[in-house]
Amino acid sequence: NASTVLRGALVGCGFFAANQMRAWQELPGVAIAALCDRDAGRLAAFGDTFGIEHRFDDIETLLTQMAVDFVDIAAPTPAHETLVTAAAHYGVDIICQKPFAGSLATARRLINICRKHGVSLTVHENFRWQHAVRRVAELIGEGRIGRPFFGRISYRSGFDVFANQPYLATLERFIIQDLGIHTLDMARALFGDVVRLSCETGRVNPDIAGEDHATLMLRHEAGCVSVVDCSYATTLADDPFPQSLIEVDGDRGSIRLAADFQLTIHGPGGSATVEDVTPTWPAWSEAPWNVIQESVVALQGDWIERRRAREPAPTAGPDNFNTLALVEAAYQSAATGQSVEPERW
Ligand code: NAD
Ligand code: 89Y
C-alpha cells in the first residue's frame, strides 16, 4: 500500500549510518522510528542530531517493544550474524551493510534463515547505484557498444580513509574486503557473473595490517574479461576519491568514464560523444563523499519501491553472495598464486 509509511529501525549509529539516516529522511513514504547502538554515547549523539526519540542498546529489546517493517543494519560485519538472525526471527525485512558476512558459510546460513522466516534481505551494496555507473550499465544494456569483450574498473586514491574509519587500519583483510567488494560488485553488475579470477595484492602503508592495493583479472561467464584494480596507496595531485574510473570495449564501440564524471562513447568511424554524467547531489551531501551519498539515496529509494512491490532488490542476499564469493576467491588467489573458480549461490 503506497499510502502507508514504512517504519524502520536503524541499527548501528556510527560513521556511515549518518548517510543512511539522511537518505531516509529525504525519501518519501519511509520513517526511521527507532535507533539501536550498543555504544550509549553514539546512540545519544545520533538520536539528538536526527531527532529520533526511541533508542535502544540491543536489537532484541527494540524488536520486542517497537513495531517496525524493517531494520537497516549499519553495524560492522562481525555484528551482522546476530542482528540479521534476530530481525529474521521477528519477521521484519532487512537491509544490511557490506561486507554482509565474514565467510561464505555465514552468508549462506543467513540468507537461508531469512528465507525460512519469509523476510527480504538486501545488502547495502551501493556503488553500482552511482549515477555514472548506472549510465554505463544502461549504455551496455541498450547495445550501444555491441558485445563487451574487455572492461576495467579502476579505483586508485591516497585519501586518508583511516581518519573516519580507524578500524580499517586493523583489518588483516583490508582493501579487497572494504573497497574491492564494491568494485567487484560493479564488475558483476556491468559484465555478469565470474567464472575465473586471479589476484595480486600488496601493502605500501607500514602502519596498517592489511593489503592496500590489489589487481584482479576476471573472466566473466558472458565472455568479457575485466581488470579490477584498487589502491589506497596512490599519490595523485587530483585525487579522485571516491570515484571509480571505468573502461569498456565492445565489438562496436567503447566507453570511457573518466574523472569528474566525464563519459565518452566511442563509435565506429572515429565518432565520439561526450556526456557529463555528474549527478544531482543530495542537498545534504558533501565533497568528496557526495558520489557515495548520492548512491545511498538511489539504493534506498529503489528499496522502498521494491518493498512495496514485494520484489527482491538487485543486491538481494543471493546476488550479493556472488560478490562476496569474488572477495573470498581474490584472497585465495593472492595467497596461492593460482587462479580460482569462485563459488556461486
Ligand atoms: P562505525 O564503527 O563508525 O559504526 C558502527 C556502529 O555500530 C558503532 O557505533 C557501534 O557501536 C555499532 N554496533 C556495533 N555492534 C553493534 C550491535 N551488535 N548492535 C548495535 N550497534 C552495534 O563503522 P562505519 O564506518 O559506520 O561502518 C559500518 C558498516 O558500514 C561497515 O560494515 C562498513 O563496511 C560499512 N560502510 C559502508 C560504506 C558504503 O559505501 N557502503 C562506507 C563506509 C562504511
Ligand atoms: O568503507 C568504505 C566503503 O564502503 O566505501 C568507501 C569506504 O568508506 C572507505 O574505503
Structural domains present in the chain: 6-124 (3.40.50.720), 128-286+322-336 (3.30.360.10)
280 C-alpha to center of ligand 1: Å? 26
Any atom of ligand 1 within 6 Å of the Cβ of 13 = yes
- Which amino acid type is present at position 345? W
Any atom of ligand 2 within 6 Å of the Cβ of 37 = no
61 C-alpha to center of ligand 2: Å? 30
247 C-alpha to center of ligand 1: Å? 32
The closest residue, in CA terms, to atom 3 on ligand 2 is: 179
Q: Give the ipTM.
A: 0.99
pLDDT in tens, 156-205: 999 999 999 999 999 999 999 999 999 999 999 999 999 999 999 999 99
pLDDT in tens, 47-90: 999 999 999 999 999 999 999 999 999 999 999 999 999 999 99
pLDDT in tens, 195-246: 999 999 999 999 999 999 999 999 999 999 999 999 999 999 999 999 999 9
Cα–Cα distance for residue pair 189/183, rounded to 1 Å: 10
Cα–Cα distance for residue pair 175/172, rounded to 1 Å: 10
| Mean pLDDT for the chain overall | 98
Q: Largest alpha-carbon pair distance within the chain?
A: 66
147 C-alpha to center of ligand 1: Å? 39
| Atom in ligand 1 nearest the alpha carbon of residue 295 | 40
pLDDT in tens, 78-94: 999 999 999 999 999 99
| Atom in ligand 2 nearest the alpha carbon of residue 179 | 10
Cα–Cα distance for residue pair 214/219, rounded to 1 Å: 17
| Atom in ligand 1 nearest the alpha carbon of residue 292 | 40
